[in-house]
Amino acid sequence: MRKLRPVRRPARVRSFPPIAGRGARVLILGSMPGVASLEAQQYYAHPRNAFWPIMGTLLGFHPSASYAQRRRALKAARIAVWDVLQSCERRGSLDTMIENEVANGFNAFFRVHRGITHVFFNGAKAETSFRRHVLPHMSASLGYARLPSTSPANAALPHHRKLAAWRVILAPVRRPRSSK
């Protein structure tokens, strides 16, 4: 007779604080850092994730620059990065394995970062989680768009097509802020 193994719950994982400077105009949202990012305590740390190569091309820095330099380049470009989820349960790194989601505190974030006009989602899961957990409670009126995921799991879309789609993030940071 075979012994049944107890079913282990997926691990509860937690996101990082946002990368956000005072003048941020754009917020890029992922869902939750993957295993490589959690281990490194850095956003988009998986070596095959296209996020830093895309940002490097768009903002003019080398994607292998130090993490501190990459963070400074984002802030200088008025781009903030965060995750929709503060915590969740998940086995591995795939978004499809995310369960029991708890969202970050976006109303407080947007009160501090009033200059943000656009939110770009790094893939479908970030958008779905934001629309489910955050948007119904939002007081800010912003522009939203989903971009192709930079995850290595989205290998079907070639890098040049991802890069072309991601160029849209530059328009809000280059546009002068309208006076109200």
DSSP H helices in 15-66? 35-40, 51-59
Give CA–CA dist 11/135, Å, rounded.
26
Helix (H) or strand (E) holding 83: strand 79-83
Give CA–CA dist 111/48, Å, rounded.
34
* Residue among 49, 104, 107, 154 flagged as catalytic: 49
- Mark whether 104 is an active-site residue: no
Are 7 and 64 contacting, i.e. CB atoms less than 8 angstroms apart? no
Which residue, chain included where needed, has tokens 């009126």? 141
Q: Tell me the three state secondary structure of residue 18.
A: coil
> Which residues are the active-site residues?
49
